[in-house]
Structure 1
Amino acid sequence: MAATDGIRCMLMRGGTSKGAYFVADDVPADPDERADLMLRVMGSPDPTQIDGLGGAHPLTSKVAIVSASAEPDVDVDYLFLQVVVDRPVVSDAQTCGNLLAGVGPFAIERGLVEPRPDETPVRIRMLNTGDLATTVIRTPSGVVAYDGDTAIDGVPGVACAIELEVGGGSPLLPTGRVTDEVAGRTVTLVDNGMPVVLVRAADLGVSGDESPADLESRGDLVRAVEEIRRAAGPLMGLGDVAAQTVPKVFLLSAPREGGAIATRAFIPTRVHTSIGVLMAASVAAALRIPGTVGAELAVLPDAASATLVEHPTGTFPARVAVEERDGVWYGTSVSERTARKIFDGTVFPRPRL
């Protein structure tokens, strides 16, 4: 793509993340060409991402690519790309439940889904994982509504509520075991839309209520977390994850703010200032399975109520359901997010890396 070529792009906040949204036809189909383009769009590799759209943090260096789906009973396909801030890496090994919140509005804005007069249902295939998500977007007079009264922790102000339901047809526990020994620690490996590793904060010598900056400053802790993450990758069917951003490692401790569990999430080396939608769904689902790491620390509500997952800037109400079938655990999740269109226009990628 020539340096002077611009690409139609919408910058959106989805949940507690922010990313660039593209229609698939507007970007290369070849993964290597697409990755090169997204590095130049976001300004990576550079710790400040000063020469691109990225915001110098994993939560603001994300991309959603959306297309009309050829699958029956599916409206759009959604491919998520994590653009690493300071390395020339673009990963499709995970999905993002936060950017998922913006997919429905974006699809309607771009004409991929025909709006209805009041509310518009959108069924989304998540290409990274194969999972299906359903949502209903408010579209009064056929126009996406962003204004509303819903607040979510980690985002200032209020916006229009967007409910996301993600159904998982895959087992929750990749190894089939409630706990595993990984890098000398007892952990639970779980995937309810996002592969995560659960470990007790106390087992890593921290209390679990530290600030993200404090945890990131502890070199020995960061190295221990990364050792666990890399060892867990092959067990979760992810292979060598040295260059990937999954799985995410969660430090769990007893709740302090009236929730079910306290969390600190490494994503993978920075610590999340809140929590991702599918990360919370995975944590909450694991707590509902007897014998998992964190189950003994959790203060769980009844099965019909949301599981309040505490994070550095508040709590996330994760509504999950788990069931055991023939000795295998399965789960689904429902979450409420918000999204907002920030700008719609043309982005000009830098000429070369």
Structure 2
Amino acid sequence: MLKIPCVLMRGGTSKGPVILASDLPADIAERDAVLLALMGAGHELEIDGIGGGAPQTSKVAIVSPSESPDADVDYLFVQVMVNERRVDTTPNCGNMLSAVGPFAIEKGLVNAQHPVTTVRIRNLNTGTLVDAEIQTPQGDVSYEGDTHIDGAPGTAAPVGLTFLNSAGCKTGKLLPTGHASDVIEGVAVTCIDMAMPMVLIDAASLGKSGGETPAELDGDRPFMARLETIRRQAGAAMGLGDVSGKVIPKPVLLSKPAAGGTIRARYFMPHNCHKSLAITGSIGIATATLIEGSVANKIVAPQPGARNNALTHIEHPGGKISVSLLKQGDEIEKTRAAVIRTSRKLFEGDVCVPEYVLSEAI
């Protein structure tokens, strides 16, 4: 058996192993084969691995010293499919990102300061730079604290994440189609690339209230099929090509808030509705509320001052998430976004993988 050192961590509302790049095969095919076996991909329960049987718990973070002078560490996010023996490294994951800073400090990649250590992280999937503020009293990472985030039980130490250059992370443009609004399959949509490529849709235009539970949306097969058709056409319009085998762009239903927030969202990953909301998704949604003529902007426009509000509260199935936006003049593309997350170390040790998987790598 191959023994792969790893730290199983909860990052925000996601969970997965965080691994040093040097502890994985350098060959990409062999690396991916190890990760598939490690997580138990190809079975709905991932029963033969440490995956959790859901997209939010079938994630891997690979960390290494940064090769860029602009960052401390590099972070490659790997989405391991649950029912398929396939991985996707096209998107970023902001929730797992909150586990990268503590891991990097504890592994000696970054020297801790008292009482807070800022770790500059370069996401290799998108090229995005993120400053992570980690609580390090007396130079030791602290996971304990009073911060609660919706979608995760209990409280923990806060992890501040500031996304520095998220516009056009995959397509090179904030609005890849060149428009704040397009029409696909007779439905008005906004195609946006801010931290995560997404296609934003008013829930009402698809016959939904926007308050449905993830299970209700996932169980409506005709709706899911129509959503996928829109997503694939949006992907092509955004210059992403055939996205049938990709997890981007993410489709998102938006609606008026019901619990005092700015806007309500149902975020898809893309074939299941997220039980809360991806961090990268929240940044794109919040930014879209500031873009005149976008689907999001039209929903929040009736609220006084909403379009210029720097703090956006997004309601999701698990509660709310707040995104602070710092605009650089009138250039939306240079907007910086900050969110608060938490993380927790769950297990540290070796995960065992059958050695024969290396010979099966394609």
TM normalised by structure 2 equals 0.92
Distance 1:204 1:344 in 2: 45
Aligned counterpart for 1:312 among listed residues 313, 317, 335 = 317
Bigger mean CA deviation after superposition, 317-326 or 256-265 = 317-326
Please point out which of 337, 340, 346 is paired with 1:336: 340
Alpha-carbon offset, residue 184 of structure 1? 2.8
Displacement over 4 Å in runs of 4+: 322-326, 350-353
Q: Which moved more, 1:328-337 or 1:311-320?
A: 328-337
Alignment of 1:1-353 (within 5 A): 4-168=1-165, 170=168, 171-298=173-300, 299=303, 301=306, 303=308, 305-322=310-327, 329-350=333-354, 352=357
1:90-133 per-residue CA deviation (whole Å, 9 max, x = no partner) reads: 00110000011111000011111111232211101111111100
CA distance in 2, matches of 1:36, 1:57: 19
Per-residue deviation at 1:210? Answer: 0.6
- Structure 1 residue 146 displacement after superposition: 0.2
Q: How far 1:294 moved relative to its partner? A: 2.4
Between the aligned partners of 2:236 and 2:310, the Cα distance in structure 1 is 34
Structure 1's 205 and 323: CA in aligned 2 closer, same or farther, altered over 3 A? farther
Contact 2:289 2:307 in 1 (8 A): no
Alignment partners' CA distance in 1, 2:329 and 2:229: 31
Partner SS state of residue 344, structure 2? strand
Seen in structure 2, the aligned counterparts of structure 1 residues 191 and 338 have a Cα distance that, compared at 3 Å, is same
CA drift of 1:29 comes to: 2.2
Q: Distance in 2 between matches of 1:302 and 1:285?
A: 10
Q: Secondary structure at the match of 1:295?
A: helix
**Mind listing any 5+ residue stretches in structure 1 that lack a counterpart?**
none
Letter of the 1:312 partner, please give it. P
Task: Give the CA deviation at 1:324.
Answer: 7.3
Q: CA deviation at 1:322?
A: 4.4
**Mapped contact 2:297–2:307 kept (Cα < 8 A):** no
Which range is displaced more, 276-285 or 295-304? 295-304
Please give the alpha-carbon distance, in whole angstroms, between the structure 1 residues aligned to 2:16 and 2:326: 29
SS of corresponding position for 2:273: coil
Distance 1:143 1:195 in 2: 36
Deviations 1:278-332 (A, max 9, x none): 1000001001111101222224647454200010010110112446768x74432
Please tell me whether the aligned partners of residues 148 and 154 of structure 2 are also in contact (alpha carbons under 8 angstroms): yes
Rounded to whole Å, the distance in 1 between the matches of 2:239 and 2:27 is 24
Q: Deviations over 1:170-225 (max 9, x none)?
A: 44211221011223321001121111110011111111101100100000011011
Number of residue pairs the alignment of both structures matches: 349
SS at match of 1:294: helix
| Aligned counterparts of 2:329 and 2:135: Cα–Cα separation in 1 | 35
Structure 1 counterpart SS, 2:296: coil
User: Which secondary structure state, in structure 1, belongs to the residue aligned with residue 35 of structure 2?
Assistant: helix
Q: Which amino acid aligns with 1:159?
A: A
Verify the 8 A CA contact 2:290 2:307 in the aligned structure 1.
no
Mean alpha-carbon deviation: is it higher for 182-191 or for 273-282? 182-191
- 1:164/1:337 contact within 8 Å kept: yes
Partner Cα separation in structure 2 for residue 163 and residue 304 of structure 1: 20
One-letter code aligned to 1:347: V
